[in-house]
Amino acid sequence: MKAKSLPQKKIISALAMASSSLLHPSASWAQESASLEEIVVTATRREMKASDIPFNISAISGSEIEDANLVDMQDLMRAMPGITVADGGGRFSENNNVITIRGLNVDPSATDRRFLSDPTVSTYVGNTPVFANFILKDINRVEALRGPQGTLYGSGSLGGTVRFVMNEPDASSFAGRIDSSFGQTEGSDGENFSVHGMINLPLSDDLALRVSGGLIDNAGIVDYVNVYETDANGVPTAAGGDVAHGGPVYSNNRDADTVEIDYVRAGLKWTPSDNFEATLTHMSQEGDYGGRRQTTSAADGWGEYYDEYEIGAVINEPASNSSEFTSLEMTYDVGFATLSSSTSRYERTFEGTSDNTGFFAANGWLFYYGYGYMLRPAIAAERQNSEKAFVQELRLVSNGDRQVEWTLGAFYMDQEASAAQQTRALGFQEWATAVEPEGFGYGYGLYYDPSTNVTFDWTHDRDFKDFALYGELTWHLSDDWSATLGARYFDNEDNVVSQTSFPIWFAFNPVVEDQNKDSDTLLKVNLAWNASESTMVYGTISEGYRRGGTNAAPVRPNPNYPNDPEWDSFESDYALNYELGVKSQGDDYNYTISAFYVDWSDPQVNVATPSGAYYAVANGDSASSKGIETEFNWATSDNVTLFGGYTYVDASLSEDLYLHDASELTDGKSALRATSGAQLPGTARSTFNIGAKYESRLENGLLMVTRVDGYYQTSVENSILNIDPDWAASMSGFDLWFMSMTLVSDNWTASLVANNIFNDRGTVATFKEEYMTSDIANGFYGTGQKDFISNPRTLTLKASYSF
């Protein structure tokens, strides 16, 4: 193994020895009572303790995020009981919202084609509904709301909502902070480095500016051991310079999956009176990724297996992204209620290259694309996604403790989104020109335009407009009982223009324009009983919704269009959520226990059409999810805080899954893709979270904090397509352990952090050999098979200074 394992072993040994001494402190250390941090949330549009909200919500404060060394969304969601994220590294996470709550997901965990349907969990930054894997720095708290939230949030949601609440400017005092980290990951020859700074500057008694930003530069761990050498134009180099007959020249791109991110946020807050305040915020983040954090467990074309941190791609797979948004949030206390306005614009883009050679090999296409003679097969999929939107949301929330409390809101979004892919047969034009005198050349490779080497060119442009009215009314029937009724009315319109080009000799270049409109009303009812001063029992029935849309895929009756007309559009899907729970909080403990059942109608599946391989969304019949969620925190009398939770989720298809394909119609139904009872992918039936934090004061006055966190999940399914050999697979369960030791003074901290201490290899998804493989008959000795793995053991030194 290439990693600097000896220094890591020494550090781990030192960490273990130090933690042992901490767990058995000397008598001279001053003993202090541990206490629970009280987190106030605004999930219901009012400031409330999480324990007083009558539905299942998790909240984690910014200080806890710092203590746990949580930097990105994947690690954060895993720290919250019962929330699942497919962890595929920085390149994957920047382009895919793969948060799953209560198992509501039917897409393969490995797919990166989730751009035609919305995610099942909505994400908010402040009050802006936007997805971006923003770096978790200078953050106040994160709130995770389980179950549909369409009566509280304008964008609606099917399975839940996650809110990222940032720190705001403060006119009362000047403050600043700078922190940095240095670390190393198992499997890498390089180091990880980050730096972050924040300054809060009062400009007057009622005006303040807060600016924060930083950069992350992480070394890669995955070696692209058999990538082709290329020229300046990306064309594979021929051995011996023989373009007509030479094979590829291989090279090793070591530690390829580098991560480079820079980010900045600026906020300006004006509070001219006790009744009015306005906050203007701008955030931007850019990332560059050298390759996939995925490894190959199958053999290459020579029958040799790859090492632990190696991948079989023959093309480098870089990617980049950019995300930014600007928001203006204003609140005005009109006495009986508070009027709030949130106006925002955001824009995000992604582009990346993927090695699709293994996909062509698995389908037996390489020979027909000329590679049976070229001997340097290289199929690159170049993908671009973008999204921008204007969002306006107005809310009126009643003030004070009244017998009847209410929230009213209006929401409008104008969103433009596009997705595109060009698949190129790299080097074909050069090879065809070289062998043309021998009678080959353009006689082969008839499946693409030889002037560009493009085999497939697809664009999908969407203009989506959504309007909604929503609200809730809570009636306090007595001191102990309250009832809530909620409703959301929506009206949306989806306009799509799609263009698809296949092999040029087909003269097939259809442009399809289509439109989809939808409107409906969603309802929610909740009943809560304060069984005692510290305990609440509640029940909720709520409806969730995800918009339908148009695929704009070319369909019959035109004989040149290969797809059944049912592929033209897809229906909205609905979730009917039932939840029964109990919450309790005392001075030194809190816990939540909830049971849920979700009936999911017409679940949307991101797939490709059976004929023609167009990207599309289809609807299944029905699925369901049921389970138990638990979460607890307990501050013991000996300076130890214990926390954790257990979640059981049984999410499965309720009916057999069929997808449209007229060529396979049998008794009015298309070919079977999955059977009733199939476990929904990506979500483990059981997950455990457990942790402990110990605080003690040293003789020199410094505070020492030792923290240990553990996570375990049982096996998950790779795909809902449980009878499809290309996708059906079970991923074994795994556990991850984290430990840190932090010295805290009045104005500085220093930490030693170990993530994935035992270096357990957690595989969360896979591209199987049946889907992407080798093809030695046509010169492809690499492979497209790859596994999505958890981040290996990483040791980090952190320091911060506040002023």
Secondary structure in 3-state letters for 46-114: CCEEHHHCCCCEEEEEHHHHHHCCCCCHHHHHHCCCCEEECCCHHHHHCCCCCEEECCCCCCCCCCCCC
Q: Does residue 368 surpass a pLDDT of 80?
A: no
- pLDDT digits over 508-560, tens only? 567 888 898 999 999 999 999 999 999 999 999 999 999 998 888 776 555 55
Q: Which strand ranges, in their side-by-side order, compose the sheet holding 160-166?
A: 57-61, 139-146, 160-166, 121-125, 128-129
Rounded CA gap, 583 and 48, in Å? 14
pLDDT band at 355 (very low <50, low <70, confident <90, very high): very high
pLDDT band at 205 (very low <50, low <70, confident <90, very high): very high
3-state helix, strand, coil in the chain (%, to 5): 10, 50, 40
Check residue 735 and give its pLDDT. 94
pLDDT band at 44 (very low <50, low <70, confident <90, very high): confident
Question: Beta-carbon neighbour count of residue 558 at 10 Å?
Answer: 9
Backbone torsions φ then ψ of 11, nearest 5 degrees = -65, -40
- pLDDT digits over 248-307, tens only? 999 999 999 999 999 999 999 999 999 999 999 999 999 999 999 999 999 999 999 999
Q: Does residue 420 surpass a pLDDT of 70?
A: yes
Q: How many residues does the chain have?
A: 803
Angstrom CA distances, 47 to 40, 335, 424, stand at 6, 17, 54
R_g of the chain, CA atoms, integer Å: 27
Check residue 188 and give its pLDDT. 96
Q: Which residues 6+ apart lie within 8 Å of 32 measured at CB?
A: 639, 695, 696, 697
Query: Are 129 and 391 in contact, with CB atoms under 8 Å apart?
Result: yes
Query: Are 459 and 553 in contact, with CB atoms under 8 Å apart?
Result: no
Q: Does residue 444 surpass a pLDDT of 60?
A: no
- pLDDT digits over 325-345, tens only? 999 999 999 999 999 999 999
pLDDT band at 354 (very low <50, low <70, confident <90, very high): very high
Rounded CA gap, 119 and 160, in Å? 10
Mean pLDDT of the chain: 87
Q: Which residues 6+ apart lie within 8 Å of 754 measured at CB?
A: 11, 12, 15, 738, 739, 740, 793, 794, 795, 796
Check residue 550 and give its pLDDT. 86
pLDDT band at 433 (very low <50, low <70, confident <90, very high): confident
Residue 616 exposure: Cα atoms within 13 Å on the Cβ side: 29
pLDDT band at 23 (very low <50, low <70, confident <90, very high): very low
pLDDT band at 769 (very low <50, low <70, confident <90, very high): very high
Closest CA to 301 of 773, 768, 726: 773
Secondary structure of residue 324 in the 3-state scheme? strand
Query: Are 183 and 791 in contact, with CB atoms under 8 Å apart?
Result: no
Rounded CA gap, 179 and 199, in Å? 12
Q: What percent of the chain has pLDDT over 90?
A: 61
pLDDT band at 135 (very low <50, low <70, confident <90, very high): confident
Average pLDDT of the residues in 486-507: 82
Rounded CA gap, 372 and 376, in Å? 9
For the ranges 147-161, 203-217, 252-266, the lowest mean pLDDT is seen at 147-161
- pLDDT digits over 77-115, tens only? 877 887 888 777 777 776 677 789 999 998 887 776 666
pLDDT band at 346 (very low <50, low <70, confident <90, very high): very high
Phi/psi region, residue 670 (left: phi>0; alpha: psi -120 to 50; beta: rest), is: beta
Q: What percent of the chain has pLDDT over 70?
A: 88
Query: Are 658 and 673 in contact, with CB atoms under 8 Å apart?
Result: yes
pLDDT band at 702 (very low <50, low <70, confident <90, very high): very high
Q: Does residue 648 surpass a pLDDT of 70?
A: yes
Check residue 25 and give its pLDDT. 38
pLDDT band at 51 (very low <50, low <70, confident <90, very high): confident
- Is the CA virtual torsion 133, 137, 138, 143 positive or negative? positive
Check residue 16 and give its pLDDT. 44
Check residue 4 and give its pLDDT. 42
